[in-house]
Structure formats: C-alpha cells, structure tokens
Amino acid sequence: MMTKIYPRTGDRQTVYLNAVVDDPQIEIGDYTIYNDSRSDPRLFAANNILYHYPVHRERLVIGRFCSIACGAKFLFNCANHTLRSLSTYTFPLFYEEWQGDRAQVAEAWDCKGDIVVGNDVWIGYEAAIMAGVRIGDGAVIGARALVTRDVAPYTIVGGIPARPIRTRFAPEVIELLQRIRWWEWPDERIRRALPAIQSGDWAQLERFASGNAGN
C-alpha cells in the first residue's frame, strides 16, 4: 500500500488514492491517482464517493495504475430509491416520522452491489459510475459519461447513458495484456518495460513478459 501521497514534487492537485482513503469498505490499488483542480484531492472519499452508507456494507474496489479525473463520482446503492414500492419516497429511512421499523431501513433502496474497477482504467472528467457496475482492465470512461452497465476490458465508452465507442486494441492484443498483467509486475520490471508499454509495442512487451526481451 502506498504511503507517499503526492506523485510529483510541488503538485498538490494529484494524489495516490490509497494513501488518503482509509475506509475499510474501499480498496484501491497502488499507483492509482486522482487529480482535482477545484478541491483538495485528499477529500476524495467525502466528495466523490456518494451515498456510501454502512447499512449496505457495499465495497468500492479500484485496481492499480488507474487515472481518475477531477469530479468523477461513484454513486452507491442508497442513491437508488426502490422501484418496488408504489412511491419512490424513502419512508423506511424516516422510520421515526412514520412509526416504521428501524430494521427495515435498507428497504428504502434497491441494492445493486459493489462497484469494481479494474486495473489501468482511465475515468474522465466528471464521469459518474453507478452502483453494481464493473469496469474491465484498460477501459476508458469518457468525460461526463454516466456508466450504468458493465464495461468490457479495453473498451472506450461515453455518453448518457454510456455506450461502447470502440475497443482500444485488436482482440489478440487485449488477450495478451490481460494474460501478462503487467500492472502486477514488480516496480523495477515495469520500469524496464516502459519503453515497450509507452510506445505501444505489444510484441516487445510480450517478449519481455516471456523473458526474451533482449532477443
């Protein structure tokens, strides 16, 4: 787990998220960053993870090497007023006012599950991720997209609601990247592989993964 908060000297707008979030229901991988030009990025949990109340014990899981832009939001299940009722008003929440049963508070919402974000995901400016959504490795979420459904690995989505725009790479490259899982390598190995990663040389990266990078 990261202990260093700021990746760059003199930059107080960008933080390593797992160095500033300590909620046991939130799991964030190393090197995942959040940038905020309008507020203190250290307040990510308070400002960007919404309706995340203990009553549902739901989790936010974000992988390694993700990039999260200013204003991105994660909206959890307490934002989902139940549609099973004839009214969308949250009567069970206000059990004192309506002489209800405190044990039935969770019936005010429809629970859709955890939010799980893979590795190397880029979430754009003011995008919103809804409860129950799973985002695959390498996906890109466009600015101000509203993500209500799962996103496949290495797929670019955008719009309201978010829809697939295109995949980032050919199927065989996506398969390779998910197989070698470079984001799980030791730091020094990643540093040595950066020329191949940054240049998009997937064949060189594959050789690196197999131990034949020098051939």
**DSSP annotation string for the chain:** ------SSTT--SEEEGGGT---TTEEE-TT-EEE-SSS-GGGHHHHHEES--GGG---EEE-TT-EE-TT-EEE-GGGSB-SSSS--S-GGGGHHHHT--GGGGGGGB-----EEE-SS-EE-TT-EEETT-EE-TT-EE-TT-EE-S-B-TTEEEETTTTEEEEESS-HHHHHHHHHH-GGGS-HHHHHHHHHHHHHT-HHHHHHHHHT-TT-
Residues known to be catalytic: 81
